[in-house]
Amino acid sequence: MDTVKAGTTIKQGGFQLWERELLESPEVKRKATVAQLYFFDYYFQALGYIASRKERRARFDADTEERNLSVTSPQYAREFKSYCGRERVILRRRRTKLRVEQFHIIAQVGQGGYGEVFLARKLETGEVCALKKMRKKTLFKMDEIRHVLVERDILTATKTPWLVRLLYAFQDAEHVYLAMEYVPGGDFRTLLNNSGVLKEEHARFYIGEMFAAVNELHRLGYIHRDLKPENFLVDGTGHVKLTDFGLATGALNPKLIESLKIKLDKVKDNEIVQRSTLERRSLYRSIRNVDPRYADSVVGSPDYMAPEVLRGKPYSYSVDYWSLGCILFEFLAGFPPFSGGTPDETWTNLKNWTKVLKRPEYDRPEDLIFNLTDIAWDAITRLIAHASVRYVALNQVMGHPFFKGVHWDDMRNTRAPFVPALDSEIDTGYYDDFTSPEDMAKYAEVKEKQKNVSKVKEKEVQFGRGVWVGFTFGKNGPGVNMKGLGGSDTPDDGSTLTTIF
The pLDDT value recorded for residue 121 is 96
Distance CA 172, CA 177 (A): 9
Residue 132 annotated in ligand binding:
yes
Q: Which of 95, 119, 137 is the last residue of a domain?
A: 95
28 with 155, same domain? Answer: no
Q: What is the CATH number of the domain that holds 174?
A: 3.30.200.20
- Model confidence at 162: pLDDT above 60: yes
The pLDDT value recorded for residue 268 is 84
User: Could you list the residue range(s) of the whole structural domain that residue 69 is in?
Assistant: 23-95
- Rg over alpha carbons for the chain, rounded to the nearest Å, is 26
118 with 196, same domain? Answer: no
DSSP characters for 418-443? -----SSTT--TTS--TT-HHHHGGG
164 with 285, same domain? Answer: no
- Residue 236 or residue 156, greater confidence: 236
236 with 267, same domain? Answer: yes
> Is 488 within a domain?
no
Per the structure, the count of domains in the chain is 3
> Which one-letter amino acid corresponds to residue 22?
L
The three-class DSSP label of residue 490 is coil
The pLDDT value recorded for residue 187 is 93
Put simply, whether the predicted model's pTM sits higher than 0.95 gets the answer: no
The pLDDT value recorded for residue 10 is 52
217 with 364, same domain? Answer: yes
Distance CA 231, CA 233 (A): 7
Q: What is the pLDDT of residues 300-338, one digit of tens each?
A: 458 899 999 888 888 899 999 999 999 999 999 999 999
> Is 87 within a domain?
yes
134 with 251, same domain? Answer: no
- Model confidence at 485: pLDDT above 50: no
- Model confidence at 82: pLDDT above 70: yes
CB within 8 Å of 288: residues ≥ 6 apart: 193, 294
164 with 201, same domain? Answer: no
Distance CA 379, CA 89 (A): 58
- Model confidence at 3: pLDDT above 80: no
Distance CA 486, CA 224 (A): 38
Q: Which residue(s) pair with 47 in the sheet?
A: none
Residues 233-255 as b or e (16 or more Cβ within 10 Å = b): bbbeebbbbbbbbbbbbeebeee
154 close to 217: Cβ distance less than 8 angstroms: yes
Mean pLDDT to the nearest integer, 292-301: 49
157 with 265, same domain? Answer: no
216 with 328, same domain? Answer: yes
List active site positions: 226
Distance CA 315, CA 286 (A): 34
- Model confidence at 5: pLDDT above 80: no
Mean pLDDT score of the chain: 82
56 with 149, same domain? Answer: no
CB within 8 Å of 146: residues ≥ 6 apart: 249
The percent of residues in the chain predicted with pLDDT above 90, rounded, is 43
172 with 128, same domain? Answer: yes
Lowest-confidence segment of 132-136, 257-261, 315-319, 368-372 by average pLDDT: 257-261
Q: What is the CATH number of the domain that holds 314?
A: 1.10.510.10
